[in-house]
Structure 1
Amino acid sequence: MKLTKGDIVLFQGDSITDGNRGRSEDPNHILGHGYACMVSARLGADYVTEKPVFVNRGVSGDNLIGMYARWQDDTIGVKPTILNILIGGNDMGWTRTATPSKFFERMYRLLLEDTLELLPGVRIILCEPFFLPLPETRIEQAAKVERVCAHLIELQQIVRRLAKEFQLTFVPFQDMFDSLARQVDSAYLVWDGVHPTMVGHEFMTRRWLETVE
């Protein structure tokens, strides 16, 4: 990725992107404390003379429809030249009712079509939602874990398919976390199966940069 003067890089998504970001203009916290902040710091340093602007509009708890509901203000209104989307963690059915796959695909496609029409020339990056169940998951939850993982695979396939259809960059995370989990305890990477630790965010940052750049 080559950034130029005037570039606005926007990160959109749920709590993984939100990263407990500040809601004021305080530059110490405005980008949160996760991969969005880490990616921004590295790109900002690499292109310091171009002074690109980095914006985080992730909202904790959002599923796809929740994100779409605020799309006009939090995305179109920001007018990004580069848009990163990571959504699906609240659609797979782990913490709330799962979003049906057909509805997820229909809404995601509509979101992309609207964005490309209203922001001609924007570069869009689609990130793969992921899940890393902890080995100590209670037996009574085993069936739920299996169901959630099966549905997540469907959502992941949708995001990958849309990236190919719209010729967008696709950042895969699931295989990375699966591989890392064979080397170290899952909780060291994703403490509750959904939310990465700082180590997990660092690996996300590395994967994002190596894929996008």
Structure 2
Amino acid sequence: MTLIENNAVVLFQGDSITDAGRNREDGNSLGSGYANIATALFTSKHPEKQVRFLNRGIGGDRVVDLERRWERDCLELKPTWLSIYIGINDTWRRYDRGIPMSAEEYETTYRKLIKQAKEQLNVKLILVEPFVLPVNEAQKTWREDLDPKIQVVRKLANEFQALYVPLDGLFAQAGTQTGPAYWAPDGVHPSPAGSALIAQAWLNAVKV
């Protein structure tokens, strides 16, 4: 039986992988990515629960960008479940724009967001692990930056007793069968198949 209760409000929060082209003028738009797929499958299996799903992902966001809009795009929405998927841009910006984000700052900011949501809303948490599936040699060097951030998300999930979605290993495993570009053409943004892989892992975490 799924862990999500009747009449719950589930908020997907994150960057472009969550955003997935949603219409930001429409508060109910879910985009075309994993949030939409997970919502479609959940609501088709559990229509009786009347769960409401919201997406406030914004492309390009790092954890500090989430912090800037946390009041409006999280706390004011009063979710009962909060799914956070943030971190790949905190790594990527170091390599494409020379804007590094230390694992320590990432952890401090991430923990602050979680604590605010827990203290003000008593929200239940789902933390989604960032991944990179290198499609070129340059992306292989990202591991030194991303791996400590993945460890931060695991640490926070343990600390706050959150449900956990372990994507990095999942995508690495999937990529061995097909090559990485099948799942994430640029190594970061999932293909439709990759979005479905994320959605299924998310649903597994909430026991659907």
Shorter-chain TM-score: which interval? Answer: over 0.9
State the superposition RMSD in angstroms.
1.5
- Measured against aligned partners, the alpha-carbon deviations of 1:37-92 in whole angstroms (never above 9, x if no partner) come to 00111111122122211100000010000011100000001100111000001001
Once the two structures are TM-superposed, the CA of residue 193 in structure 1 deviates from its matched residue by 0.7
Q: Which runs of 5+ in 2 are unaligned?
A: none
- What is the aligned length? 203
Counterpart in 2 of 1:42? 41
Q: Residue type matched to 2:70 in 1?
A: W
Q: CA deviation at 1:94?
A: 4.2
Identity of aligned residues (%): 37
Q: How does 1:135-150 map to 2 (within 5 A)?
A: 137=136, 142=137, 144-150=138-144
CA distance in structure 2 between the aligned counterparts of 1:47 and 1:101, rounded to whole angstroms: 38
Cα-to-partner distance string for 1:17-41 (whole Å, 9 max, x where unaligned): 00100123386xx100000000111
Matched, 1:125 2:126: yes
**Bigger proportion of residues as helix:** 2
Paired with 2:193 and 2:63, the residues of 1 have a C-alpha distance of 26
State the one-letter code of the partner of 1:57: R
Mapping 1:78-93, distance limit 5 Å:
78-92=77-91, 93=94
1:126 and 1:159 in contact (8 A); partners too? yes
- 2:104 equivalent among 90, 102, 105: 102
Per the alignment, do residues 26 and 68 of structure 1 end up closer, same or farther by CA in structure 2, a change over 3 Å counting? Answer: closer
Change (3 A) 1:205 1:62: same
The question of whether the paired residues in 2 share the 8 Å contact of 1:76 and 1:115 is answered with yes
Change in 2 beyond 3 A, CA 1:43/1:94: farther
Please give the TM-score of this superposition, normalised by the length of structure 2: 0.93
Residues 128 and 173 in structure 1, CA contact (< 8 A), matched pair in contact too: yes
Cα shift readout 1:154-192 (whole Å, capped 9, x = no counterpart): 000000011001111111001111111110021110010
From 108, 111, 114, give the equivalent of 2:113. Answer: 111
**Residue 148 of structure 1: CA displacement?**
1.4
Q: Please say if residues 27 and 54 of structure 2, whose CA atoms lie closer than 8 Å, have aligned partners that are also in contact.
A: no
* Alignment TM-score, normalising by the size of structure 1: 0.90
Alignment check: 8 A CA contact 2:12 2:54 kept = yes
Q: What is the alpha-carbon distance in structure 2 between the residues aligned to residue 89 and residue 59 of structure 1? A: 13
Q: Is the 1:171–1:212 Cα contact (8 Å) retained in structure 2?
A: no
Q: Structure 2: how far apart are the matches of 1:6 and 1:115?
A: 19
Instruction: Please list the CA deviations of residues 100-149 of structure 1 after superposition, one character each: whole Å capped at 9, or x if unmatched.
Output: 111111111111111111112x1110000000111xx2xxxx4x434311
Unaligned 5+ runs, structure 1:
none
Give 1:162's match in structure 2, choosing from 151, 156, 162.
156
Match of 2:170 in 1: 176
